[in-house]
C-alpha cells in the first residue's frame, strides 16, 4: 500500500522535540537527512552529530487525515515549521539502489555488478550488499579493488578486517586467493559477506567468518590484510593489525581522507615500510610492507 510522508525543515537543536511530536501524532517512523551540503565524514568516538540544517521525515499510514494531523502537530509545538506532505507509492525499497548501480571493471580482471556482465570474457563479481556498506562504487572500496586486481594471489592468505559486504574478500578469492578470513564488528555484515560469497559460488569453507575480536587465538597471521574502515579506528588498531600480518606481507588501508594520510603513515611506521599513498577524490588508499 502507499504511504504518506511529512517533511519538515528544521535544525539540529529542534530534532528531538520534533521527533517526539511526530511519534505522538502517529508517525510510524522518523528519519533525518542533510538539508544543506555539510557532510559529517568522520565523527569522533561516541559522537552522534547532526547537520546544522535538517530535513526530518515522518512516515504515516496512507489513511492519515493530513489536515487533522498537521493541526495536531501545530498544537503540540505551538506552531508548525515549514512542511509538506508527499505520497509514497509502494516500492520494494531494498531493491531501489539497483536503479543507480552501474557495472564497474577493475584492472581488466573482473567486473562488479548485481548481474552477469557479458561485454567481454571477464568474470563478474555478483554483489547485493543488503544491509552492509560496499558496492564497489565508493572511492574507498574502488581503491581497494583496484589494488586487489593487481596482486598475484596464488597461495596468499588474506584477512579482510571490517569486511562489510565482503566485496574485497570475495574479489581476492575469485582471483585465486585460497585462504580468506573475514571479520567485522557487525553480525549483519558477516551475513551479507556469507550470502554474497555463495552468490559467487564460494562455499562457507572458502570464506571464514568471525566477529572482530573473536578470532581464534591460534589463527596465524596473513601475508595480506585489507581494512576499508575509517582513519580513526585504523590508527587505534595499528598495532593490532600489524600483528595480523606476516613479515614481508602487505597491508592495504582505505576509508582515509586525503588530509589524514600523514597521520596514518605515522601510526603504522613502527611496523611497516615502503608506504604508497594513492588518492581518488577526497579519499586515500595507503599500502605498505610489514617489517
What CATH number does the domain containing 159 carry?
A: 3.40.50.150
3-state secondary structure of 139: helix
Helix (H) or strand (E) holding 171: helix 167-174
Same domain, 127 and 225: yes
Same domain, 149 and 284: yes
Q: What is the pLDDT of residue 206?
A: 86
Same domain, 160 and 236: yes
Residue ranges for the chain with pLDDT beneath 70: 1, 35-52, 89-101, 129-135
Q: How far is CA 196 from the centre of its chain?
A: 15
Same domain, 151 and 17: no
- Cα separation, 136 vs 112, whole angstroms: 7
What CATH number does residue 18 fall under? 3.30.70.260
Contact yes or no for 160/197 (Cβ under 8 A): no
Same domain, 79 and 100: no
Angle between helices 15-24 and 66-77 (to 10 degrees): 130
- Rounded to the nearest 10°, the torsion over CA 240, 242, 243, 246 is 160
Same domain, 120 and 256: yes
Same domain, 50 and 133: no
Q: What is the pLDDT of residue 138?
A: 83
Domain boundary among 72, 90, 108: 90
Q: What is the pLDDT of residue 100?
A: 52
Same domain, 144 and 158: yes
Q: Which domain holds residue 65?
A: 3-90
Total number of domains in the chain: 2
Contact yes or no for 281/140 (Cβ under 8 A): no
Please state the pTM of the whole predicted model: 0.68
Contact yes or no for 14/73 (Cβ under 8 A): no
Same domain, 84 and 218: no
Same domain, 43 and 108: no
Place of cell 506552531: 79
Contact yes or no for 8/81 (Cβ under 8 A): yes
Same domain, 151 and 84: no
Q: How far is CA 15 from the centre of its chain?
A: 25
Amino acid at each position: 500500500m502507499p504511504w504518506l510522508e511529512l517533511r519538515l525543515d528544521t535544525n539540529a537543536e529542534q530534532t528531538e522535540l520534533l521527533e517526539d511530536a511526530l511519534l505522538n501524532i502517529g508517525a510510524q517512523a522518523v528519519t533525518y537527512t542533510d538539508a544543506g551540503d555539510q557532510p559529517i565524514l568522520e565523527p569522533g568516538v561516541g559522537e552522534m552529530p547532526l547537520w546544522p540544517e535538517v530535513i526530518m521525515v515522518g512516515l504515516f499510514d496512507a489513511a492519515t487525515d493530513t489536515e487533522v494531523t498537521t493541526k495536531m502537530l501545530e498544537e503540540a509545538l505551538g506552531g508548525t515549521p515549514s512542511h509538506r506532505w508527499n505520497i509514497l507509492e509502494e516500492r520494494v525499497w531494498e531493491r531501489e539502489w539497483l536503479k543507480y548501480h552501474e557495472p564497474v571493471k577493475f584492472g581488466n580482471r573482473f567486473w562488479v555488478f548485481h548481474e552477469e556482465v557479458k561485454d567481454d570474457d571477464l568474470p563478474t563479481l555478483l554483489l547485493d550488499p543488503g544491509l552492509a556498506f560496499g558496492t564497489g562504487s565508493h572511492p574507498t572500496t574502488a581503491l581497494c579493488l583496484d589494488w586487489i586486481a593487481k596482486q598475484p594471489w596464488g597461495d596468499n592468505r588474506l584477512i579482510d578486517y571490517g569486511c562489510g559486504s565482503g566485496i574485497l574478500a570475495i574479489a581476492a578469492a575469485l582471483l585465486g586467493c585460497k585462504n580468506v578470513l573475514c571479520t567485522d564488528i557487525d553480525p549483519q555484515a558477516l551475513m551479507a559477506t556469507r550470502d554474497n560469497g555463495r552468490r559467487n559460488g564460494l562455499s562457507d569453507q572458502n570464506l571464514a567468518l568471525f566477529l572482530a575480536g573473536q578470532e581464534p587465538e591460534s589463527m596465524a597471521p596473513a601475508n595480506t590484510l585489507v581494512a576499508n574502515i575509517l582513519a580513526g579506528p585504523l590508527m587505534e588498531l595499528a598495532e593490532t593489525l600489524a600483528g595480523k600480518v606476516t613479515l614481508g606481507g602487505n597491508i592495504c588501508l582505505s576509508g582515509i581522507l586525503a588530509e589524514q594520510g600523514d597521520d596514518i603513515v605515522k601510526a603504522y611506521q613502527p611496523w611497516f615500510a615502503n608506504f604508497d599513498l594513492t588518492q581518488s577524490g577526497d579519499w586515500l588508499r595507503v599500502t605498505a610492507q610489514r617489517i
